[in-house]
Amino acid sequence: MIRGAALLAEGVAALRAAQLDGAATDARILLAHALGIPRDRLTLALQDDMPAKVQARFHKAIAARAAHQPVAQIVGRRAFYGREFIVTPDVLDPRPDTETLIEAALEQPFTRFLDLGTGSGAIALTLLAERPDAQGVAVDLSQAALDVAARNAKALGCAARATVQCSDWFSAVQGRFDLIVSNPPYIGTPELEGLAPDVRVYEPRMALVPDHDDGTGLAAYRLICAQAAAYLAPNGWLMVEIGHKQGNAVQELFRAAGLADIALRYDLSGHPRVVMGRAAV
């Protein structure tokens, strides 16, 4: 028999050997996962003998992480803005940076909103959970992602106010919205090569690099900006997450689209992370 503490130490060593940052934290999350307990109960469990089944689950999880699979994909969950979301290899792992977009949106009044490229639904469902009067349309081109978003909508009790729908950006969208949000793919193809294998190998490429990328990663913004005016209600806001070097280019696209009150929002690292602008009445 092996105690929890010894098994954990083994996992940490294996992750360190694979040169992963955050080995200690990751190993704890993966052991709690193998035990099927919440992370805050792990310390107590470290004194216990680990059943063979738990050991096997833990070793499998450690091997996946050592091969750079993201922790969220291994455990199938990720916390975003204080709520748990189901995550699979079909969706982008919700990131803390994207909470900047949530904060910007929640400063505004809105009832009807649209989320373009919803993925796990993290943005749309957080907005619905935070605004009990809101109604959201969440679209994605990936049916596999929409399945994840629908499961998350149900788990968070928001399904009745969420329309989860397949659409190539605006193609299947109807009506006008007080708010349009998006975290579109914005990595330029050359930049993709420089990303950690955790992202480059394991996350869906269609969530990272826009279709018809010209190397800048801006293609999705061009498309969204060109059509947004037809889908925004008077005074409605368009808010998009951006890569930290894309602030000027995306603001220029917002200006060209005739949007007003264009502004940037910064993430916790101080990088420009959101561009927002509103439809002139």
What are the residues binding ligand GLN (CB under 6 A)?
Answer: 92, 95, 97, 183-187, 199, 208
Q: In whole angstroms, how close is the CB of 12 to ligand GLN at the nearest point?
A: 25
**Which residue, 50 or 125, is less far from ligand GLN as judged by CB?**
125
**CB-CB contact of 34 with 57 (8 Å):** yes
**Which residue, 110 or 186, is less far from ligand GLN as judged by CB?**
186
235 is in an annotated binding site: no
Distances (CA, A) of 105 to 31, 233, 274: 36, 15, 10
Q: How far apart are CA 112 and CA 274, in angstroms?
A: 20
243 is in an annotated binding site: no
221 is in an annotated binding site: no
217 is in an annotated binding site: no
**Which residue, 53 or 205, is less far from ligand GLN as judged by CB?**
205
Q: What does DSSP assign to residue 213?
A: -
Q: What does DSSP assign to residue 159?
A: G
Nearest residue to ligand GLN, using CB?
186
Q: In whole angstroms, how close is the CB of 100 to ligand GLN at the nearest point?
A: 11
211 is in an annotated binding site: no
Q: How far apart are CA 75 and CA 95, in angstroms?
A: 16
119 is in an annotated binding site: yes
- Alpha carbon of residue 113 to chain centroid: 18
**Which residue, 35 or 71, is less far from ligand GLN as judged by CB?**
71
Q: What does DSSP assign to residue 94?
A: P
**Which residue, 208 or 228, is less far from ligand GLN as judged by CB?**
208
Q: How far apart are CA 172 and CA 149, in angstroms?
A: 17
**Tokens 């809101």, residue located:** 134
Q: In whole angstroms, how close is the CB of 243 to ligand GLN at the nearest point?
A: 7
Q: In whole angstroms, how close is the CB of 137 to ligand GLN at the nearest point?
A: 19
197 is in an annotated binding site: no
Q: In whole angstroms, how close is the CB of 151 to ligand GLN at the nearest point?
A: 21
Residue 177's CB is within 10 A of a number of other CB atoms, namely: 24
248 is in an annotated binding site: no
Q: In whole angstroms, how close is the CB of 127 to ligand GLN at the nearest point?
A: 17
Q: In whole angstroms, how close is the CB of 266 to ligand GLN at the nearest point?
A: 15
- Alpha carbon of residue 148 to chain centroid: 12
**CB-CB contact of 64 with 74 (8 Å):** yes
**Which residue, 245 or 255, is less far from ligand GLN as judged by CB?**
245
Indicate the length of the chain as a whole number.
281
Short-list 221, 272, 257, CA closest to 100: 272
- Alpha carbon of residue 248 to chain centroid: 23
**CB-CB contact of 254 with 277 (8 Å):** yes
**Which residue, 185 or 272, is less far from ligand GLN as judged by CB?**
185
Q: Which stretches of 2-142 are DSSP H helices? A: 4-17, 23-35, 42-45, 52-66, 71-75, 99-106, 122-130
183 is in an annotated binding site: yes
Task: Please enumerate, by residue number, every residue annotated as part of a binding site for substrate.
Answer: 183-186
Task: Please enumerate, by residue number, every residue annotated as part of a binding site for S-adenosyl-L-methionine.
Answer: 117-121, 140, 169, 183
